[in-house]
Structure 1
């Protein structure tokens, strides 16, 4: 049998590869000979994936709730995949930073535009029943979302706005800043000042991991890439707009979709229904209260003061409840 030059070249490269690691090419070729062809369902572990939905009630709409949140976490993982790549590429080119920001913005665009699955895709009566079986679990406990925030900006930007200036002036440590991270305020019982069980569970499982990540991302965040490119004179208008879009996607569009959903399912004046995790969703979700802004240097003072208001006016007018 005659072998083409291309095949001979591939065999020689494979031989060199396995020889360099002390492996036997013939053994690997024998393994390939006996192996079955790869299938789609095995490659993506389809059977496992479809077995991961385990409702706690027999209500028809609960699987919708579960699957949407699982899809959300996969999009978060995709976003972190890009954040981590840039963190490990300190000299990333302008083109690479733009490309990865475009990917991340597409992920959040998909999430935001798909939220009607939650807002319109479940019966309110069913939701209000099965949600009671979820207490104290809450989307508040999404660690991947917190990791996206940590990877996006300097850690001081995640501190509650009431303590941000004070901690910045004293050059506080990551541990000190973590005690005043903005999201904790959303899971405090207002009447007593005590942490909700939801927050205590989250801190027990993830605090050390998040603190470690914050330390390892010092000088490696998305914002550090912008500052580096700006210092090199390469930060153009397109890059600025991509950063602004990411800021809006994570800190306005996404949380306000949750707010819209909460209004749809939980708002009933004068006494709104409490969230499953005991979070104060009325104050925690609206960006204008927390001023969650990754990149304030890219926004005008007026834009910062009006943070999130235009979205609310546009999307929530129809949900005003008398």
Structure 2
């Protein structure tokens, strides 16, 4: 027990901290002295241990001897880490028990900051690799493809109503179950062989690995995706203009600017007269990547008809009003 009559050599502020610790551990039925003993025995934390530096730097394992493959793999791993942060923020919004426009807006600002970094970092891919090296080492990556980024698909699913991500046949009921709509997700059209209309190996691998997980996520977020969260605030009259602007910026960044960045990269590395080079995953990138072709909008109610008609234009995601 820490008493008020601490030795003169014992700092009063430390005595107060020890009292607080004692109360904390006592509330959990734990012995503070044992935890202090563990602290005495523990080594100091270092930066390299905290971020697991050696492990992190060991995760880049190029498949070829071409130097620029290290750029390729490191960049994609970096992108996935930012996707993880974006999903972290989305889950905070969706899981907030008393969501406010202020909290929602602040988290959307974080998300937009992450995507802004990603968009501007694409120069690492577009300008930062030797084209001849890329066209050679990419053949060792078959049939993998950035198309198989499950975290990007999770961002899409947790952002909007599932129906906004599908290209369903005419006559499909508006209230069709997610399990039925899953087959018509828009991005599956980008991994279909043009000649045979069969699913590419890239798509078959992806669906086998993640299909059930994505369906489960879509069901889980049916009523708490970002669009539904906004609509609830809107219904109570508490949605702010700042929030609307952040959601619009997010929609534009993901569905126009990010995809245009991918298109620029594909054009530089895969465009060749008279016929374009196939992507590693067999995706028909020429028709799949242009955002005007995809025409995906997370928050359709936040855009005017004129803006939606100009969606994905060459002005890098700044639709005209």
TM-score (norm 1): 0.93
Cross-structure match for 1:279: 283
**Which residue, 172, 183, 189 being the options, matches 1:167?**
172
Cross-structure match for 1:47: 54
Cross-structure match for 2:313: 309
Cross-structure match for 1:300: 304
Cross-structure match for 2:180: 176
- In the TM superposition, residue 13 of structure 1 has moved relative to its aligned partner by 2.3
**Which residue, 57, 73, 79 being the options, matches 1:72?**
79
Cross-structure match for 1:81: 88
Cross-structure match for 2:100: 93
CA contact (8 A) 2:290 2:312 kept: yes
Q: Distance in 1 between matches of 2:263 and 2:229?
A: 31
Q: Distance in 1 between matches of 2:111 and 2:317?
A: 26
Q: Distance in 2 between matches of 1:269 and 1:255?
A: 23
Point out 4+ residue stretches in structure 1 off by more than 6 angstroms.
Answer: none
Structure 2 unmatched ranges of 5 or more: 1-6
- In the TM superposition, residue 291 of structure 1 has moved relative to its aligned partner by 0.9
Cross-structure match for 1:207: 211
Q: Distance in 1 between matches of 2:12 and 2:246?
A: 46
- In the TM superposition, residue 114 of structure 1 has moved relative to its aligned partner by 0.7
Q: How does 1:1-322 map to 2 (within 5 A)?
A: 1-2=7-8, 3-160=10-167, 163=169, 166-169=171-174, 171-311=175-315
1:236-278 CA-to-partner distances (Å, cap 9, x unmatched) read 2221111100001110111110000000000113210000000
- In the TM superposition, residue 19 of structure 1 has moved relative to its aligned partner by 2.5
Q: Distance in 2 between matches of 1:224 and 1:122?
A: 41
Query: Which of the pair is proportionally richer in helix?
Result: 1
1:6-48 CA-to-partner distances (Å, cap 9, x unmatched) read 3233222222222233322111100101111100000000110
* Larger deviation, residues 269-278 vs 1-10: 1-10
Task: Give the SS at the match of 1:111.
Answer: helix
Larger Rg, first or second structure (1 or 2): 2
Q: CA RMSD in A?
A: 1.6
Q: Distance in 2 between matches of 1:263 and 1:203?
A: 27
- In the TM superposition, residue 225 of structure 1 has moved relative to its aligned partner by 1.8
Q: Distance in 2 between matches of 1:88 and 1:257?
A: 31
- In the TM superposition, residue 168 of structure 1 has moved relative to its aligned partner by 4.6
Q: Distance in 1 between matches of 2:157 and 2:239?
A: 22
Cross-structure match for 1:318: none
Q: Distance in 2 between matches of 1:79 and 1:166?
A: 35
Aligned CA distance change for structure 1 residues 78 and 306 (closer, same or farther; 3 Å): same
CA contact (8 A) 2:160 2:299 kept: yes
CA contact (8 A) 1:73 1:144 kept: yes
* Larger deviation, residues 212-221 vs 233-242: 233-242
Alignment: residue pair count? 311
Aligned CA distance change for structure 1 residues 186 and 64 (closer, same or farther; 3 Å): same
